[in-house]
Amino acid sequence: MPENYRNNNITSTSTIDMLMKFGDVESAEQIFRSIKAKDFITYGAMVKGYIENKTFEKALDL
């Protein structure tokens, strides 16, 4: 993902949601780690994605 898009929480969160829906948890985590100012919507997308991909421990650890 281009650097200028990483600073946009809406774009980053949408990308995380899409990647999780396709089961690409590792790429979603990479984008999540690259976000400097995470908000509750971004955390929510990660938790939802972890649950959808049955990685419950990661959801709890987040």
| Burial class (CB within 10 angstroms; exposed 0-12, middle 13-18, buried 19+) of 32 | buried
- pLDDT at position 16 is 97
Q: In whole angstroms, what is the distance from residue 55 CA to residue 7 CA? A: 27
pLDDT category of residue 4 using cuts at 50, 70 and 90: low
Q: What is the pLDDT of residues 20-60, one digit of tens each?
A: 999 999 999 999 999 988 999 999 999 999 999 999 999 99
Q: Where are the alpha helices (DSSP H) in 1-62?
A: 3-6, 9-21, 25-34, 40-52, 56-61
Residue with tokens 């979603």, as numbered in its chain? 28
pLDDT category of residue 8 using cuts at 50, 70 and 90: confident
- pLDDT at position 2 is 62
Nearest to 10 by CA among 39, 34, 33: 39
